[in-house]
Amino acid sequence: IRTAQLAITVGSGLFDSKLATVRSLVESEGGYIAGTDAQASPTDNPENTQIRTGVISFMVPAAHFDETIDQLSRVGKVQSEHITGTDVSAQYVDLNARLANAEAQRDAMLALLKQATSINDIITVQNQIGQITAQIEQLKGQIKYLDDNTSYSSVSVSLMESGAPVQTTSDSWGFA
């Protein structure tokens, strides 16, 4: 599973066109936009213009991840780039083994259900089948999550026009 966060500075007045460039790039690489957040900050210059900043988050097919990052570096001046990767191979194998085991247990319980003769036995076996079925659905959900996150990579790009104030975080205690 690979993720990237980039901070890119673009020329003054170019924010909208560069944001459109990023959107086109995502579309051309077969990805999709997960969200955008843009805002304008007033400046102290005599023309009273505003400086635009924003974040665009998107998913891109994992096979196109490196190419997408390369193309993003041409949108403007890259101020920072953070790329991470997590190997989930062992987790994936473990989940599939647990799924196969749970499905085998369910099949055994279904065979027992056919042989059950008393109402008590039938209810007990059906309860077990219900618990195993819930476990199977949970395992399938975890496997699907891994499938989705390994086939698509997450990218977040912060775009800032030149002259934008540096984003700082502070708290109400005065400590940073």
Mean pLDDT, residues 139-168: 83
Does this model's pTM top 0.75? no
Q: Is the pLDDT of residue 166 over 70?
A: no
Q: Taking all residues of the chain, what is their mean pLDDT, rounded to a whole number?
A: 87
**Residue 163 pLDDT:** 65
Q: Is the pLDDT of residue 142 over 70?
A: yes
**Residue 176 pLDDT:** 44
**Residue 72 pLDDT:** 94
pLDDT digits (tens, 9 = 90+) for 56-102: 999 999 999 999 999 999 999 999 999 999 888 899 999 999 999 99
**Residue 130 pLDDT:** 94
Q: Report how far residue 161's alpha carbon sits from residue 163's, in angstroms, rounded to the nearest whole number.
A: 6
Q: Is the pLDDT of residue 154 over 60?
A: yes
Q: Report how far residue 73's alpha carbon sits from residue 71's, in angstroms, rounded to the nearest whole number.
A: 5
**Is the separation of the CB atoms in 77 and 83 below 8 Å?**
no
Dihedral of the alpha carbons of 150, 27, 15, 171, in degrees to the nearest 10: -30
Mean pLDDT, residues 39-48: 65
CA dihedral over 102, 108, 110, 113, signed as positive or negative? negative
Tell me how far CA of residue 15 lies from CA of 3, 30, 43, 69, 87, in angstroms: 24, 23, 15, 19, 36
**Residue 150 pLDDT:** 85
Q: Is the pLDDT of residue 35 over 70?
A: yes
**Residue 162 pLDDT:** 83
Q: Is the pLDDT of residue 175 over 60?
A: no
Q: Is the pLDDT of residue 40 over 60?
A: yes
**Residue 78 pLDDT:** 93
Q: Which residues contact 88 (CB under 8 A, 6 or more apart)?
A: 1, 146, 149, 150
Tally of CB atoms within 10 A around 8: 20
Q: Is the pLDDT of residue 132 over 60?
A: yes
